Structure 1
Amino acid sequence: MVLEALNFTAGVTLPIFVMMFLGLVLSRFQVIDDPFMDTASRLVVNFGLPAVLFLGTARMDLGLALDRPLILFTVVMTVASVGVLWFLSGRIAPAALDRGVFVQGAFRGNLAITGLALVANMYGQEGVSIASLLMAFLVPLYNVLSVLVLVGAQRGHDDEPSLQWARLARNLFGNPLIVAIAVGLVINRLALPLPSVLVRVGEYFSSITLPLALLCIGGTLSLKALREASCLSLWATVAKVLVLPGLMVMGTVWLGYRGTLLGVVFLLSASPTAVASYVMARSMGGNAQLAASIVVLTTLMSMVTVSVGIFVLRFLHYL
């Protein structure tokens, strides 16, 4: 039983983290450079991931995937987690430049790349469809909460963050991931047939998206940011990859969920901090160095916590 659980775990997590490590190695040997990763990242965000999410939502069985109690639970847990983190941040990260960055880094997971890659590797198209539906609620929520904590932390110190709300609205309604999910849900609800050419092109994009995205994540990992990690980034890392996923899984199990739904919730909640958190922190005057170190630490630590989590849940026959 132990060997079966170990084999299952390795089959899910090793390919993902090997691709990240390969990206880091290729970057160190300058096989892939910054211009390549910038171009590849734009391709992934603007075309590849939207194609994956569009096909996932357009072709899923809404009657099976739309589990309202589970969606409500994940949303409420996310908001509650941010509230608790905000309360704690006032005691461990009182500096305005650190507080919002700490909270954002501790809750904002990389759902669209690492989370989705893990789900796809573990559950295939069925898992991607369920993850896409959850992301339809979580991605906009992450954006709103991130701006709230960053603006709230700097209120009274800088008037500029108040101007970020207009940009937030543009990002929400112009975000390719959100648009792709929304269009996919509309097509699904109206039962509109998808042209075979569109499906084939979308599948081409889907097949290259996640490997390319994982290479880019590995290539952008900064060893300098790892060396500059502080106690604050360690606390944020523990919250992101250990405490919050643990609470999310316990709550999901308590509600009676097992199998695919539990696995998708765990993999999304246990994903490392999104690289976008660094971009947003930097653009809004937060501590960019802290944000970068949280991204690197959570990415490295998630290799262990995700693997252990899958093994334990599989061993207990929850997955």
Structure 2
Amino acid sequence: MHYAQLLFPDFSLILIGYLLCRYTALNKPVWQAVEALVYYFLFPVLLFQSIVRTPLDLAAASGLMGAGLLTGLGGIALAYALPRLPGLGKHIDRRDHAVSAQVAFRFNSFIGLALAERLAGAQGLQLIAVLIGVCVPLFNVAAVWPMARHAERGFLREVVRNPLIIATASGLACNLMGLTTPDWALPTVSRIGAASIALGLMAAGAGMQFQSLARGKALGVALLAIRHLITPLLAWGMARAFSLGQPETLMLLTFSALPTASSCYVLAARMGYNGAYVAGLVTLSTLLGMISLPFALGLIGRG
């Protein structure tokens, strides 16, 4: 109950975004513009500042990075193994699987940063920023690769131009060189970061869609089970295997149980696949996050 209460303010912003988009003049086109602003400017600024604000010990963070990467690889392997599982494979449309497998391992960075700050303050922001930095390239390659033959642009270009990767790489470079944000710029940067969290959560709610959920039920259930049940259990095992401390374990488990990325729909639509089906899975994943996050965080201290 303690973690559920901590998560309530962030999920209430998601609900507010959904209600504003559906029942006011602030409709979908407005929120699409807001999401673009957050994704391409506000959120990268927050990521950059989260990394550079405190000296980073890469040796100390190596365990967290290793645990995050292995957890992610586990989710990717399970997602792409689904069509080959006895009894399940015959119920899966291969094209639907190619576009929706990303739902099982990608994550909503907006929600992740909001929760990290609420649960562990500045240290939590830095730790989850490190996880985002090492996992975003891997997850983007894994998401784009099976659809690449239908894309107009190569997957390497898609990955390299990702604003999250650019912000993370530049933040790590500045941190390792000892560069910090000038004092005169800190108030502005802090306000940008606060705006990115609130607007990002509301944009996630505005993007929820309940259409097309009747399609590919077996595939959808399997992918969401990986995202919200199996991956948190993998993360818990990795935290123990790498002997992570309490703050690192907290952030890894938070990271593992996040709802899937809202940009899954954007990628699917841009590459010529069934975006409506993916949008439905993203919506269900956002709702399931209200269950999987308390579940994952409740694993701390067990065993």
**Is residue 232–residue 253 contact of structure 2 (8 Å, CA) maintained in 1?**
yes
The equivalent residue for 2:226 is: 239
Q: How many residues align?
A: 299
CA distance in 2, matches of 1:241, 1:220: 20
Are 1:139 and 2:139 counterparts?
Answer: no
Q: Residue 226 and residue 218 in structure 1: after superposition, are their counterparts in 2 closer, same or farther (change >3 A)?
A: farther
Amino acid at match of 2:147: L
CA distance in 2, matches of 1:13, 1:26: 20
| Secondary structure of 1:295's aligned partner | helix
The equivalent residue for 2:217 is: 230
The equivalent residue for 1:28 is: 22
Amino acid at match of 1:250: G
Deviation of the 1:305 alpha carbon: 1.6
TM alignment of 1:10-159, pairs within 5 A: 10-63=4-57, 66-91=60-85, 92=89, 94-110=92-108, 112-151=109-148
CA distance in 2, matches of 1:42, 1:103: 24
CA RMSD of aligned residues (A): 2.2
**Is residue 232–residue 296 contact of structure 2 (8 Å, CA) maintained in 1?**
no
| Secondary structure of 2:286's aligned partner | helix
| Secondary structure of 1:274's aligned partner | coil
The equivalent residue for 1:299 is: 286
Could you tell me the TM-score, scaled by structure 2's length? 0.90
**Is residue 114–residue 214 contact of structure 1 (8 Å, CA) maintained in 2?**
yes
The equivalent residue for 2:254 is: 267
Amino acid at match of 2:131: L
Q: Which runs of 5+ in 1 are unaligned?
A: 1-5, 152-158
CA distance in 2, matches of 1:130, 1:206: 16
| Secondary structure of 2:57's aligned partner | helix
The equivalent residue for 2:208 is: 221
Amino acid at match of 2:200: A
- 1:262-298 CA-to-partner distances (Å, cap 9, x unmatched) read 1111111111111111111222233323211210111
Q: Residue 211 and residue 227 in structure 1: after superposition, are their counterparts in 2 closer, same or farther (change >3 A)?
A: farther
| Secondary structure of 2:278's aligned partner | helix
Q: Residue 285 and residue 196 in structure 1: after superposition, are their counterparts in 2 closer, same or farther (change >3 A)?
A: same
After TM superposition, the structure 1 stretch with the greater mean CA deviation from structure 2, 287-296 or 234-243, is: 287-296
**Is residue 106–residue 236 contact of structure 1 (8 Å, CA) maintained in 2?**
yes
Deviation of the 1:214 alpha carbon: 0.7
- 1:18-59 CA-to-partner distances (Å, cap 9, x unmatched) read 111111112221242122202211211121111111111111
Calculate percent identity across the aligned residue pairs.
25
The equivalent residue for 1:170 is: 157
Q: Residue 34 and residue 44 in structure 1: after superposition, are their counterparts in 2 closer, same or farther (change >3 A)?
A: same
CA distance in 1, matches of 2:244, 2:290: 24
CA distance in 1, matches of 2:59, 2:249: 13
Deviation of the 1:228 alpha carbon: 5.5
Deviation of the 1:255 alpha carbon: 2.6
Q: Residue 231 and residue 38 in structure 1: after superposition, are their counterparts in 2 closer, same or farther (change >3 A)?
A: same
Deviation of the 1:169 alpha carbon: 2.8
**Is residue 65–residue 130 contact of structure 1 (8 Å, CA) maintained in 2?**
no
CA distance in 1, matches of 2:180, 2:283: 42
